[in-house]
Amino acid sequence: MSDKTKPGNFFEDFEIGQELVHATPRTITEGEVALYTALYGGRFALQSADMAAQALGYPGAPVDDWLVFHIVFGKTVPDVSLNAVANLGYARGRFLAPVFPGDTLAAASKVIGLKENSNGKTGTVYVNSTGTNQAGETVLDYCRWVMIRKRDENAPAPAPVVPDLPARVDPGDLAIPDIEAAGYNAAWVGQPHRFGDYQAGERIDHADGVTIEEAEHMMATRLYQNTARVHFNQHTEGQGRFGRRLIYGGHIISLARSLSYNGLAPAMWIAAINGGAHTAPTFAGDTIYAWSEVLETADLPGPVGALRLRTVACKDHAAVDFPDKAEDGKRDPSVVLDLDYWALMVK
């Protein structure tokens, strides 16, 4: 093989403290924003209309937070997870500054944990990834861990390091947008409720379901310049574990977020990712529904408060009965995503 082709890193290629500068910075334009709308149909007013954003003091509509996440995440794939068996978890993710069309994002990651699995074939790699804009400001900072294949099963195991990651981001650490709350327009937002109208324990069925097509999830994943092979190659995946192309987990996050507009329309900002699990694979033809639970509310100084939300996506099962843990403690088999995050809402 030519030395020019990159095969991706294997478990033994990582070491604690290693810094990975990911390739291909990316300018996010109005083109990406429109495609994101076509792929998920989001209706949050702040991201949909310059007019609504400007009324709150923004120069124009910021880019959807999850689009920012996917673009940064995509950059990490060739170096971090090209040889991944599974994307295991997220923690301590914070959205730190808004991104606007025209901004260029670059990504880097630091290896913060390593633990070989007992089978000697794979190991878990923990990375702290950041996305920065053209001015050098960090716009996103998050941790994730993935199970990676070893190139050589006989390679020695590194000393295990498992980082101490918090169960949730402390609400005092959230980046709070500096908005002019007087410009908040509930008619544009599409729902009259405000921060004080949501209580911990409340569950919301987001009602609608959306069926996924192969062309959609592949266009989305390419839009993010995410090159993970399992999403694109039916010729090999047809011979693989599922016989199908696997859908990028982030596609489900964005579908669930978009569905959550119905009931969470005022939750226009994602401030942090506390944790998340892609609990089952999804495939073209699956219909995704979602429901959310308010886990916690946190009043903050200034015009917005924070809701800690758990959004659960399920497939081929309407969320009206909130599929979740079954009586035996196992998850309902329809559940494909369990995401814990902080969103902000005007008081």
**Closest separation in Å from C-beta 155 to its own copies:** 22
Does residue 107 interact with its own copies by CB under 8 A? no
**Residue 320 in contact with its own copies, rule: CB under 8 A:** yes
Contact (CB, 8 A) for 100 and 62: yes
Closest approach of its own copies to the CB of residue 261, in Å: 8
- Range in contact with its own copies (rule: CB under 8 A) among 143-151, 171-179, 208-216, 339-347: 208-216
Does 34 participate in binding its own copies (rule CB under 8 A)? Answer: yes
Query: Which range, of 16-24, 145-153, 163-171, 325-333, touches its own copies by CB under 8 A?
Result: 16-24
Q: Nearer to its own copies by C-beta: 20 or 270? A: 20
Angle at 142 between CA 137 and CA 144, to 5 degrees: 150
Query: Cβ of residue 27: shortest distance to its own copies, in angstroms?
Result: 5
The count of residues interacting with its own copies (CB under 8 A) is 87
Using the rule CB under 8 A, which residue among 2, 118, 119, 154 binds its own copies?
2
- DSSP characters for 186-238? HHHHT----GGG--TT-EEE----EE--HHHHHHHHHHTT---GGGT-HHHHT
Using CB under 8 A, which of 216, 270, 275, 339 touches its own copies?
216
Six-digit token string for 154: 């006989």
Query: Of the two residues 37 and 279, which places its CB atom closer to its own copies in the complex?
Result: 37
24 Rama sector, left if φ>0, alpha if ψ -120 to 50, beta otherwise: left
Please name the residues in contact with 346: beta carbons below 8 A apart, sequence gap of 6 or more: 179, 181, 184, 194, 195, 266, 303, 304
Distance CA 272, CA 266 (A): 16
Amino acid identity of residue 320, one-letter, is V
Binding positions for its own copies, 230-289, rule CB under 8 A: 232-236, 245, 262-265, 285, 287
